[in-house]
Amino acid sequence: MIPVQLTIEGLYSYQERQTIDFTNLIDAGLFGIFGAVGSGKSSILEAITYALYGETERLNVRDKRTYNMMNLKSNRSYIEFDFINHENKIFRITRDFKRNSKRFEDVKSPVVVFSELKDEVWVPLNHTSAEELLGLSYSNFKRTIIIPQGQFKEFIELGAKDRTQMMKEIFNLHRFDLQDKVAVLVKKNQSEIDQLQGKLSGFEEVSEDYINELQLQLIELEKVAEKHQVEYTEANENFQKLKALKNDFESLKQKKISFEQLSVDKVLVDERKVQLEKYELIFNAFNQLLLDQSKVQKEIELKNATIESQKNQLQLIENQITEVSNQIKEIQADFDALPIKLKQEIDLEFIIQILTFLEEIKVLKIRTEKGLEKVVEVKQNEELIEKNIKTLESDIKSLTKNKIDSTILMEVGNWFNQNQNIQLSIQKQEQKLADSQKQIETLVQDLANQNIKIDSFENDFKSKFEELETQKNAYEKLKHEIEVKKKISEYAHSLHDGKPCPLCGSENHPNVVEIDDVTTELHEISKLIAHVISEQEKLRIQQQNVHSIFNKKQLIEEQLSLDKNNFTELVNQFNTHQEGFVWKDFDSKDFANFEERKNASLEIEKLITEKNNLLTEQRELFEKERVNLEKFTKALEQFKLEEAQKESQIQQNKQNLKILNFEDFNSETIENVQNKWRNLKLFIQKTELDYTRFNQNLNELKPKLASQKTSIDSLEKQIIELNQELVAHTSGIEKALIQNQFDSLEIVHQTLQLNLNISQIRQELEDFRVKYETLKNSIEELEEKLKSISFDDEAYQIEEEKLNVITSNLKEATEAVTKLKTGIEILKESFEAKKDLLKEMDKLQKRAANLAILKNMFNAAGFVQYVSSIYLKQLCDNANIRFHRMTRNQLSLQINENNDFEIVDYLNEGRARSVKTLSGGQAFQVSLSLALALAESVQSNSKAERNFFFIDEGFGTQDAEAVNIVFETLNHLHKENRIVGIISHVEELKERIPVSLNIVKDEEKGSKITMIK
């Protein structure tokens, strides 16, 4: 991650909006953030981590985080952070939270937006997870990129389990944790085996022999079925002939019965035919005439009812016209007087305005009197404030003359601080030289106590080793000879006549050797060999110890030489520093006098600040009073202007009165006059509305009256025409009765009431005729066909029973064949499926064996821990490159068998000890080395071109020389394309870092950030 820009507002001590552009800082490679304690240095890192993860080191959700993070003088906190991730993409994160305007302690949850820069446009993302963008959790972000204050040692003190989890996340070791995946595969494979076993259990009886046996049975059954088929064909042919003959006899009998019934029905059908012919004659002659007559009679009745209703409606309209005309007469007088009433209404409006203006003028006079009093009061306050301002300006001028320049105080103070640091470094270096010299003397004495000659100890040890090796070889040779004798003795005791010798194979053994028991001798020689080996081991341990002491002595002597050079440099630096004291008003030997004068000057500065603040307040009050005076003066002028305008309007309104006299209303209240005006206005509106409405009603009724009369006249004419049409229809009916020789119209009505369906009845009569003739012809044909043939019912029954038996046998044989064929096909398919299942089972069982091997390999995340330990050892090797340089090869970092960090102390015989025994400064050095190594590994894995690393404090635990080494290490990182930011209050670092941010906290405006190049 590379920071691009950070904007913060209303956060902790940052009251006003501050923006940090990291461009110059990143280009420098090494930069710092400096400021006094509590100025807000660490808040910058906290703003970055909170923007990314919504988490902070100091506060959690239970601590009312948003309230406590927000500046107490602010009502809004805002963080905006732009950065480049390992994929070289630019992202922006904003977090914005506000204070409840009604409840000071209620701060709302932040609004969070993640965006990516695409084509110069910020495009919002659909998530708010920094872990997706950076590939690091919050915990590991604190361990590898931004290390908060007090958390620098966390990584080396993590337990093995937590450290393994961290390595898994940072280096993506999850890809090696295949335990769950293997378990899923094992479970899936076993499930498939179980399913196959279940399927195979249904194929236990399926075999090729069983299928062949069934096929032989099928051949036999097919032969039986063929025999029954032949019998069935012959019997069925005979039976069908008898059945056809029986059907003919039965059909003839049934048709004769049906013909007898049709002959009876024929009489009724003939009568119905006569009735239909009479109905059709009357229907054609009278039906349409009677329908037309009935239609005209109904229309006459309907027109008579309508004309009666229209006459009633006419009477109603005439009554309404009379009523509306009377209403118009009653209101006519009031309507004619409306012009006068309208003028009275306008006059009343003018009178109301006059009365209102008079009341407002009274109020303006009162306000003017009070305004004049306020103007006098403000002028007096203005004069008093002006006097206070002059007094304060005089006091500040007097105090400024007695104050020492703050720049000089800062420079002199820095000189004294550096002088003290150099003296302390010289004292520490002197003590260090003495300690190193003492260690060398102790080591020399230790060698002397062991009778070790420094110049020839290597040759002495070599001679001793050669002497012991010669003794060991002689003893081993003797032991071998004794073992040979013992083996020969064992062979000799095992020889028997007739059995071959195990050495030469001969079955004859004339002279068997006899050898005494050598077990005791062999035991003694083994003890001598063991003693020599023990002496060799002791000598080897002594040699290693001497080598260790010699290396340690050599290492201390080299370090002593370096320390002497450093001591000389410190002394030279001290002398140069003394020459740099150029302030004549102070004594370089009298620090107490400087502190006294500095404190006095600071008191004066404080007093000047208080006076300036008071002066600012007085000037603000003076400006406020000036504004108030101007405002009151303008208000008085406005009152006078309004009063004059209202007097002018009153005179104008009096002149505009047409009918009413204002003097008649001078004693009345505005409310009474307004009531009269409202009543008059309502009367005018009602009169106009009623008069208009009545006339409108009258105009609407007159056309209706005329229309109604016209409608009645039209209906009367239509009734006359319909009566004439009715007479014509009646005449037509009488002529038809005469033509068809009917005595009365009653016979016609009775016949038509039958309401016969002519076409349907005619079709039924025709159908009966066809049926009658067809049946008659069919009987004649059958009688001719069966004239010389007879039918034996008993023979028919015998043939039918014989056919049923044969059919049953054929059906049973066919079903047996079909069933057996189906069974054989199913068994063949099952046999093929069984072969496929057995092949699949073989594959799954082989896969199960392979998965068992994988399960053992990846069980309990053992493989991940193994890979993690490799990464940790590589991390240690990379960290030791810098750690050796920082500790002058005195200490080294290693991983023990439990994957915990240990320190190898070369000043104490290279023994290992816990990292918890390190001093604060040493812990900072090893933590810094590890953090840098971890950052390098993260950069290598992410394939990022550059990487960023931030350190918050830690330098206060280092002496001057250690600070130099650490600084050189960090400065060298720029050449390795690393970017390092440092937060500190150590002034020495500030002078040596090329680019930095300086944080200054203002009591009124909060913390301010400036860049120093």
Per-residue pLDDT reduced to its tens digit, 268-289 = 887 778 877 777 777 777 777 7
Q: Is the pLDDT of residue 975 over 70?
A: no
Q: Is the pLDDT of residue 882 over 60?
A: yes
Report d(CA 296, CA 768) in Å as an integer: 43
* Residue 957, pLDDT score: 58
* Residue 117, pLDDT score: 93
At position 793, the amino acid (one-letter code) is: D
Q: Are 636 and 643 in contact (CB under 8 A)?
A: no
The continuous run of DSSP H or E covering 77 comes out as strand 76-84
What pLDDT band is residue 1008 in, cutting at 50, 70 and 90?
very high
What pLDDT band is residue 953 in, cutting at 50, 70 and 90?
low
The continuous run of DSSP H or E covering 206 comes out as none
User: Rounded to 10 degrees, what is the CA torsion of 999, 1000, 1003, 1004?
Assistant: -80
Report d(CA 364, CA 374) in Å as an integer: 15
Cα first-last separation, the chain:
24
Q: Are 310 and 715 in contact (CB under 8 A)?
A: yes
Class of residue 787 by CB neighbours under 10 A (exposed 0-12, middle 13-18, buried 19+): exposed
Average pLDDT over residues 590-598: 81
Query: For the range 588-594, what are the long-range contacts, defined as Cβ-Cβ under 8 Å and sequence gap of 24 or more?
Result: 588/415, 588/419, 591/416, 594/412, 594/413, 594/416
Class of residue 340 by CB neighbours under 10 A (exposed 0-12, middle 13-18, buried 19+): exposed
What pLDDT band is residue 77 in, cutting at 50, 70 and 90?
very high
The continuous run of DSSP H or E covering 740 comes out as none
Class of residue 220 by CB neighbours under 10 A (exposed 0-12, middle 13-18, buried 19+): exposed
Report d(CA 326, CA 772) in Å as an integer: 91
Average pLDDT over residues 247-257: 80
Q: Is the pLDDT of residue 94 over 90?
A: yes
Percent of the chain with pLDDT over 70: 91
Lookup: tokens for 919: 């001093």
Q: Which residues contact 325 (CB under 8 A, 6 or more apart)?
A: 698
Tens-digit pLDDT profile for residues 827-840? 888 878 877 888 88
Report d(CA 184, CA 75) in Å as an integer: 54
Q: Is the pLDDT of residue 718 over 60?
A: yes
- Cα–Cα distances (Å) from 1005 to 7, 80, 100, 464, in that order, read 16, 20, 22, 81
Among 169-178, 295-304, 445-454, the range with the most confident prediction by mean pLDDT is 295-304
3 state DSSP class of 924 = helix
* Residue 83, pLDDT score: 93
The continuous run of DSSP H or E covering 103 comes out as none
Q: Are 620 and 628 in contact (CB under 8 A)?
A: no
Q: Alpha helix (H) ranges present in 71-124? A: none
Q: Which residues contact 349 (CB under 8 A, 6 or more apart)?
A: 677
What pLDDT band is residue 6 in, cutting at 50, 70 and 90?
very high
In sequence order, the β-bridge partners of residue 247 are: none
Phi/psi at 92 (nearest 5 deg)? Answer: -130, 135
- Burial 612-633, CB ≥16 within 10 A → b, else e: eeebeebbebbeebeebbeebe
* Residue 5, pLDDT score: 94
32-46, 263-277, 952-966, 990-1004: lowest mean pLDDT where?
952-966
Average pLDDT over residues 950-971: 66
Q: Is the pLDDT of residue 222 over 70?
A: yes
Q: Which residues contact 179 (CB under 8 A, 6 or more apart)?
A: 855, 858, 859, 860, 861
* Residue 496, pLDDT score: 61
Among 70-84, 350-364, 390-404, the range with the most confident prediction by mean pLDDT is 70-84
Average pLDDT over residues 218-229: 85
Lookup: tokens for 841: 């089972």
Average pLDDT over residues 694-706: 85
Q: Is the pLDDT of residue 632 over 70?
A: yes
3 state DSSP class of 35 = strand
Q: Is the pLDDT of residue 555 over 60?
A: yes
* Residue 323, pLDDT score: 85
Encode 144-186 in three state secondary structure. Answer: HCEECCCCCCHHHHCCHHHHHHHHHHHCCHHHHCCHHHHHHHH
At position 65, the amino acid (one-letter code) is: R
Return the DSSP state at 756: -
Q: Which residues contact 665 (CB under 8 A, 6 or more apart)?
A: 351, 355, 673
Torsion-angle region of 10 (φ positive above 0: left; ψ -120 to 50: alpha; else: beta): left
HSE-up of residue 643 (Cα within 13 Å, Cβ side):
14
* Residue 113, pLDDT score: 94
Report d(CA 555, CA 53) in Å as an integer: 47
Higher pLDDT, 17 or 694: 17
3 state DSSP class of 918 = coil
Q: Is the pLDDT of residue 962 over 70?
A: no
Q: Is the pLDDT of residue 798 over 90?
A: no
Pairing verdict, β 911-914 and 901-905: antiparallel
Average pLDDT over residues 284-296: 79
In sequence order, the β-bridge partners of residue 30 are: 980
Q: Is the pLDDT of residue 316 over 70?
A: yes
Q: Is the pLDDT of residue 346 over 60?
A: yes
100-109, 144-153, 467-476, 818-827: lowest mean pLDDT where?
144-153
Phi/psi at 594 (nearest 5 deg)? Answer: -65, -45
Q: How many CB atoms lie within 10 A of CB 144?
A: 24
575-584, 782-791, 819-828: lowest mean pLDDT where?
782-791
Average pLDDT over residues 918-937: 78
Report d(CA 37, CA 40) in Å as an integer: 8
DSSP string of 618-651, one letter each residue: HHHHHHHHHHHHHHHHHHHHHHHHHHHHHHHHHH
Tens-digit pLDDT profile for residues 652-675? 887 888 888 878 887 888 888 888
Average pLDDT over residues 124-143: 84
Pairing verdict, β 891-895 and 90-98: unpaired
DSSP string of 835-886, one letter each residue: HHHHHHHHHHHHHHHHHHHHHHHHGGGHHHHHHHHHHHHHHHHHHHHHHHHH
Report d(CA 57, CA 73) in Å as an integer: 23
Lookup: tokens for 863: 């493989």
* Residue 974, pLDDT score: 63
Class of residue 294 by CB neighbours under 10 A (exposed 0-12, middle 13-18, buried 19+): exposed
Q: Are 111 and 128 in contact (CB under 8 A)?
A: no
Average pLDDT over residues 634-661: 81
Pairing verdict, β 978-984 and 30-35: parallel
HSE-up of residue 562 (Cα within 13 Å, Cβ side):
12
pTM value > 0.85: no
* Residue 61, pLDDT score: 66
* Residue 945, pLDDT score: 60
Return the DSSP state at 951: E
Question: What is the residue-averaged pLDDT of the chain?
Answer: 81
Residues counted in the chain: 1013
What pLDDT band is residue 939 in, cutting at 50, 70 and 90?
low
Q: How many CB atoms lie within 10 A of CB 273?
A: 14
- Burial 928-947, CB ≥16 within 10 A → b, else e: bbbbbbbbbbbbeebebebb
> Directed axis angle between helix 406-449 and helix 591-655, to 10°?
140
* Residue 516, pLDDT score: 62
Q: Is the pLDDT of residue 480 over 60?
A: yes
Q: Is the pLDDT of residue 502 over 60?
A: no
Lookup: tokens for 349: 């409006």
- Cα–Cα distances (Å) from 258 to 245, 246, 771, 780, 783, in that order, read 20, 19, 10, 14, 15
At position 711, the amino acid (one-letter code) is: S
Lookup: tokens for 483: 């073992």
User: Rounded to 10 degrees, what is the CA torsion of 165, 169, 174, 180?
Assistant: 50
Based on its alpha-carbon atoms, the radius of gyration of the chain, rounded to whole angstroms, reads 64
Lookup: tokens for 216: 């032989």
- Burial 446-476, CB ≥16 within 10 A → b, else e: ebeeeebeeeebeeebeeeeeebeeebeebe
* Residue 492, pLDDT score: 64
What pLDDT band is residue 990 in, cutting at 50, 70 and 90?
confident
